[in-house]
Structure 1
Amino acid sequence: MKLTLGFSPCPNDTFIFDALIHHKIDTEGLSFEVSFDDVETLNQKAMRGELDITKLSFHAFAYVIEKYALLHAGSALGFGVGPLLICKKEKAATIEAQLKAENYELSTGIPGKYTTANFLLGVAYPNLTHKKELVFSEIEDALINEQIDLGLIIHENRFTYQDKGLHKVIDLGSYWEQLTGCAIPLGGIVINRNLSTEVQQKVNRLIRKSVEFAFANRKSGIDFIRQHAQEMDEAVMYKHIELYVNKYSIDLGQEGRKAIDTLFAMATKHNLIPSFEQDLYVPS
């Protein structure tokens, strides 16, 4: 049985899926047709129901719950892993003063409308509405070229912005952690609800095995990871992996599900996402 699978070219995703798609583990009769896309493209594909299995942001998941269920393996949650709101260093004092004065005429580059990063931005700065959607890797340059005043960065850009003369205004992950006491849910792996429960559970089991293999053989997928990484320095790639791939990626567990449930409850309360009735998760 062949299933379509979408995930990003970022090191955390290629680390997770390397063993699965390269048959380093027994795939139990399943094969996968893989597509690599940035997170917002994956979100849009999920909206259209194009893939059997896909990575997507938890914010986007709120809009496709009728089509997809969340797997217990493969998610990106954690502490100290949230998106950063940044600006040019020489403009930092002025911009921070404007934010404190609630002057929300500032323009902000975001990595996509349905990213969890944008959801957190909305929670922290609800009136910061002048937004420009950009591919996440283009946000730093847009700031440098003064096409935007603020940039919302994710993925490996967390580790490179300072080298480009850019300044951190706020860590939205830390903001979330202080607000809720929970890990920040960034992205998860979902599967089409039309597939049988047996297939859903098998895919969940295989992704868990793929993550476990990656942890046990950390250098096994280095060529695959480097092939797709935006930042080619190996130390940066593994720093990225260590930040986003952890115990929650093996299995959400009670703590992981609590964080996701808190995110969805808060988003529903503030009318940031549609209400829903479906169970979020694949049956365990």
Structure 2
Amino acid sequence: MKDYAIKPSTLLVAHSPDADDIFMYYAIKFGWVSPPVPFDNIALDIETLNEAALAGTYDVTAISFALYPKIRNDYALLRTAVSFGEGYGPKLIKRKGTRLRRNFKVALSGRHTTNAMLFRIAYPEARIVYKNFLDIEKAVLEGEVHAGVLIHESILDFDESLEVEREIWDIWRELAGRELPLPLGGMALRRSIPLTRAIAVENALIRAVDVADRHRHLLARMLLERHLVRIDADTLDTYLDLYANDKSVTMDAAQLEALNRLFQIGYEHGFYECPIDAEDFMIPTEYLSERFS
């Protein structure tokens, strides 16, 4: 798509400090992709970002997909930098050999996360506490809670005294009623940004994710050498296979179907005031071709 001149001004891009978000953003940070306007970035945990999105804090922000219907009037949903699970995802873990009662106490990573919504539907009597995802395993090990839902890199390596009670993927599959990828996280852009600029920003992010994926091993090595990720090389490679890959560049038809099914499930269980179609809330990229034709 042709690039059009846009008046410079810095946009603040907020993402999580997790390996997949850092990986997808740092093609811009390292200068491999030039954004249409100067970007600055901030890294915060996903629930902090969800709360900030509700307050309209950042221009472009990572979000949990389950949050999006609640911010749809203020943010457009981007097609890129998406994370879906396909046969995998967050894990409900407990101490080995223990049995969970119906009202077990559980630690979740945030009220507005996708895993929290699916968990609450599956376990309506559980007593929930919310914690930073890095503290959940410890809370289970120390007996503060009976179980916890691990997300991000935590799903790949946890204490051997713990075991998986249930995969959130299995909850999703039962609720969805068919085989669809599990929508976890994406990005949103403030609607007050002028449309031509919004289109150019989304295109730059798409290019960044594409370049990151095509030069994955070089970028991963640079992140490791600069201590920008908190995991080792082998774990990073495994994690990027799961959540930052060629399917993260732009949402495909199956991912869109899955996202709409997530929104329908949320509506059916009282989390949203109305069902929505994700494509109705994306940036209309056809605008430029029509305007300048």
Pairwise same-fold verdict (TM > 0.5)? yes
Matches within 5 A, 1:1-284: 1-28=9-36, 30-91=37-98, 94-95=99-100, 98=101, 103-104=102-103, 106-128=104-126, 130-161=127-158, 163-180=159-176, 181-222=179-220, 223-224=222-223, 227-231=227-231, 233-275=232-274, 279-284=280-285
Contact preservation (8 Å) 2:263, 2:276:
no
Q: Which amino acid aligns with 2:59?
A: D
CA distance in 1, matches of 2:144, 2:80: 39
Cα distance, 1:277 vs structure 2: 6.5
Cα distance, 1:55 vs structure 2: 0.3
Answer 1 or 2: higher relative contact order, Cα 8 Å, separation at least 6: 1
Say which SS state the counterpart of residue 227 (structure 1) adopts: coil
Q: Which amino acid aligns with 1:280?
A: F
Q: Root-mean-square deviation (CA), in Å?
A: 1.7
Cα distance, 1:276 vs structure 2: 6.4
Q: Which amino acid aligns with 1:115?
A: T
* TM-score normalized with structure 1 length: 0.90
CA distance in 1, matches of 2:140, 2:22: 28
Percent identical across equivalent pairs? 25
Say which SS state the counterpart of residue 90 (structure 1) adopts: coil
Q: Structure 1 unaligned runs (5+)?
A: none
Q: Structure 2 unaligned runs (5+)?
A: 1-8, 286-293
Cα distance, 1:51 vs structure 2: 0.3
- Per-residue CA deviation, residues 114-171 of structure 1 (Å, 9 max, x unaligned), is 111101102222222x11110001000010000000101100010112x342110000
Give the ranges of 4+ consecutive aligned residues of structure 1 lying more than 6 Å apart after TM superposition.
none
Cα distance, 1:183 vs structure 2: 0.6
CA distance in 1, matches of 2:276, 2:234: 43
Q: Which amino acid aligns with 1:61?
A: Y
Q: Which amino acid aligns with 2:26?
A: D
Residues 1:229 and 1:165: Cα distance change in structure 2 (over 3 Å): farther
- Per-residue CA deviation, residues 72-125 of structure 1 (Å, 9 max, x unaligned), is 11111131232111101132xx22xx3xxxx22x10000010111101102222
Partner of 2:288: none
